[in-house]
C-alpha cells in the first residue's frame, strides 16, 4: 500500500501545483509550456514540438478583475481563467490555444491580453460528414504553422504520429485506471480519482502513463472489498472545486465512472487511424459523442449515461451543472427524462469555481443519499 500512496501523492502534488510542474519540465527539457484553453485542443501537435501542453481550466478563486472584461453570466471557468490572466499567471506560457465551441470562448479568444500569443481554431459542428475532417485537418495545419513560427521549431508529420501514439497509450491507461479504481473505492475515493486524472493536464503524457500503469498494477494486487456505500456516475463539464468532491465523498459515495469533459471525455476514444496525422486528430473530434459542446442531433448522451450506470452497477447519476453553461443546460432536459424512464435516479448540483461554501450542495447530496437508501 505504501507505493500506492506514494504514487497518489506525486499525482496530487502535480494536480494541485501546475506552475511547479511547468517549472520542472522547463528545467528538465529547456522548453516551456503551451496553454490549451479548454475543452478539446490538439495537444499532440504541441507535444510533437517538444513543449508541454497545459490544460487551462480555471481555479477556485474570488473574482475581482475578470468581470471588467467578461459578461457577469460567463461561466466560472472563463471568469477564473480571465482572473488568472489579469494576475499574470499565464505570462510564462509560450502560447495559448483556443478552441471556440461556445460563445464565451469566442469572446475570450478576442479579449486575451496576456503576454502569451493566442492561436484560435474552430471545431466544425456538422461533425459527421467527411468534409468536417478535411476542414478540421486544415485548421490544425494552421495551428501547426503558427506554433512553428512562435516556437521557432519544425513540427513534422512523423513527430505528430509519435505523439499520437504516446497520447493513445495514455488514453488506454486512463480507461484501465478508471475501471480498476471502480473496484477499489476504499482506496481511490472521489478526490483521489480526480487528482489522478487532472494531473495528466500538467505532465508529459508518457511520464503520466508510466505512473498510472504502476498505480494500476499495485491496485490489482489488493483484494476487492465489498463497498457498503452508494455508487454514482458523474456527468457535466467538471466536478470542482475540491470542496464539491469532498461533499460527495463525505456522504459515502464512490465515483465508479464519469462523463465529465475534464475527465473521461478526454480519453474515452483513441485517435483513430487515418491518411495523415492531422486528419487522424480531426477524426477523433468526429468520433467524440455525448458531449454538449460537440453537436450531435441524435443526442446519445442519455443512453450513454444509462449504459455507464448499468456497466458499473451505479445507484445513480449526479449531474454537475456548470453555472451559466448554456450547452450543458440545453442538454439536461433531453437526457433527464431518459434517465427517469430507465429508472436511473439522479440529482443535479450547481458547479461554481468561485464557491467557498457547499451547504446547498451538501443538502442535495445528503437528500440524494437518503433517496437511494429507500
Whether residue 188 has pLDDT greater than 80: yes
First to last CA, the chain: 35
Mean pLDDT, rounded, for 188-201:
98
Whether residue 221 has pLDDT greater than 80: yes
Query: CA-CA distance, 370 to 230, in Å (whole number)?
Result: 10
Q: Give, as one character, the DSSP assignment of residue 234.
A: E
Whether residue 102 has pLDDT greater than 90: no
Q: Give, as one character, the DSSP assignment of residue 3.
A: H
**Which of the four pLDDT bands, split at 50, 70 and 90, describes residue 154?**
very high
Q: Look at residue 353 in the predicted model and tell me its pLDDT.
A: 95
**Which of the four pLDDT bands, split at 50, 70 and 90, describes residue 254?**
very high
Query: CA-CA distance, 105 to 37, in Å (whole number)?
Result: 9
Taken in order of first residue, the domains within the chain and their CATH numbers are 1-29+171-226 (1.20.1270.370), 31-155 (3.40.50.11890), 228-374 (3.40.50.11900)
Mean pLDDT, rounded, for 296-318:
97
Distance of CA 240 to the CA centre of its chain: 11
Identify the H or E element spanning 34.
strand 33-37
* pLDDT tens-digit map of 196-214: 999 999 999 999 999 999 9
Task: Please report the DSSP string for 306-372 in residue order.
Answer: HHHHHHTT-SEEEEEEETT-HHHHHHHHHHHHHHHHTT-EEEEEEE-TT----HHHHHHHHHHHHHH
Query: CA-CA distance, 292 to 284, in Å (whole number)?
Result: 16
Torsion of CA 271, 162, 213, 54, to 10 degrees: -80
Mean pLDDT, rounded, for 12-27:
96
Query: CA-CA distance, 39 to 75, in Å (whole number)?
Result: 13
**Which of the four pLDDT bands, split at 50, 70 and 90, describes residue 278?**
very high
Whether residue 251 has pLDDT greater than 90: yes
Q: Look at residue 111 in the predicted model and tell me its pLDDT.
A: 82
Instruction: Mention every residue, 6+ apart, whose C-beta is less than 8 A from residue 83.
Output: 61, 63, 64, 65, 66
Q: What is the mean pLDDT of the chain?
A: 96
Instruction: Mention every residue, 6+ apart, whose C-beta is less than 8 A from residue 84.
Output: 58, 59, 61, 90
Instruction: Mention every residue, 6+ apart, whose C-beta is less than 8 A from residue 82.
Output: 65, 66, 69, 70, 108, 111
**Which of the four pLDDT bands, split at 50, 70 and 90, describes residue 344?**
very high
**32-41, 99-108, 266-275, 335-344: the lowest-pLDDT one:** 99-108
Q: Quick one: which of 17, 19, 59 has its CA closest to 38? A: 59
**Which of the four pLDDT bands, split at 50, 70 and 90, describes residue 1?**
confident
- 129 burial class (0-12, 13-18, 19+ CB within 10 angstroms)? exposed
Identify the H or E element spanning 281.
helix 277-287
Q: ω into residue 241 within 30 of 0, thus cis?
A: yes
Conformational region of residue 350, where left means phi above 0, alpha means psi within -120 to 50, and beta covers everything else: beta
Amino acid at each position: 500500500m505504501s507505493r500506492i500512496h506514494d504514487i497518489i501523492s506525486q499525482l496530487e502534488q502535480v494536480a494541485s501545483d501546475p506552475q511547479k510542474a511547468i517549472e520542472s519540465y522547463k528545467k528538465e527539457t529547456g522548453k516551456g509550456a503551451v496553454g490549451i484553453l479548454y475543452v478539446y485542443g490538439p495537444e499532440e501537435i504541441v507535444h510533437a514540438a517538444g513543449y508541454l501542453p497545459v490544460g487551462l481550466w480555471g481555479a477556485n478563486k474570488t473574482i475581482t478583475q475578470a468581470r471588467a472584461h467578461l459578461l457577469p453570466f460567463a461561466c466560472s471557468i472563463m471568469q477564473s481563467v480571465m482572473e488568472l490572466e489579469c494576475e499574470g499567471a499565464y505570462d510564462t506560457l509560450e502560447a495559448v490555444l483556443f478552441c471556440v465551441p461556445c460563445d464565451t470562448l469566442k469572446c475570450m479568444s478576442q479579449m486575451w491580453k496576456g503576454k502569451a500569443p493566442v492561436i484560435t481554431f474552430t471545431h466544425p459542428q456538422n461533425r459527421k460528414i467527411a468534409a468536417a475532417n478535411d476542414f478540421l485537418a486544415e485548421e490544425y495545419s494552421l495551428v501547426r504553422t503558427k506554433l512553428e513560427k512562435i516556437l521557432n521549431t519544425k513540427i513534422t508529420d512523423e513527430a505528430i504520429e509519435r505523439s499520437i501514439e504516446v497520447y493513445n497509450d495514455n488514453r488506454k491507461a486512463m480507461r484501465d485506471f478508471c475501471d480498476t479504481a471502480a473496484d477499489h473505492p476504499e482506496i481511490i475515493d472521489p478526490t483521489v480519482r480526480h487528482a489522478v486524472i487532472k494531473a495528466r493536464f500538467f505532465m508529459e503524457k508518457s511520464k503520466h502513463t508510466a505512473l498510472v500503469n504502476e498505480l494500476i498494477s499495485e491496485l490489482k494486487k489488493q483484494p476487492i472489498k465489498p463497498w457498503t456505500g452508494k455508487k454514482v456516475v458523474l456527468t457535466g463539464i467538471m466536478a470542482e472545486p475540491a470542496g464539491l468532491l469532498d461533499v460527495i465523498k463525505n456522504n459515502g459515495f464512490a465515483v465508479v465512472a464519469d462523463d465529465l469533459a475534464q475527465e473521461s471525455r478526454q480519453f474515452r476514444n483513441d485517435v483513430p487511424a487515418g491518411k495523415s496525422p492531422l486528419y487522424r486528430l480531426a477524426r477523433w473530434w468526429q468520433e467524440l459523442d455525448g458531449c454538449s459542446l460537440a453537436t450531435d442531433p441524435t443526442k446519445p448522451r442519455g443512453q450513454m449515461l444509462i449504459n455507464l450506470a448499468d456497466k458499473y452497477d451505479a445507484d445513480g447519476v449526479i449531474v454537475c451543472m456548470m453555472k451559466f453553461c448554456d450547452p450543458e443546460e440545453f442538454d439536461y432536459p433531453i437526457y433527464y427524462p431518459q434517465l427517469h424512464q430507465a429508472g436511473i435516479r439522479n440529482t443535479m448540483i450547481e458547479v461554481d469555481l468561485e464557491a467557498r461554501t457547499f451547504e446547498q450542495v451538501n443538502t442535495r447530496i445528503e437528500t440524494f443519499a437518503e433517496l437511494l437508501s429507500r
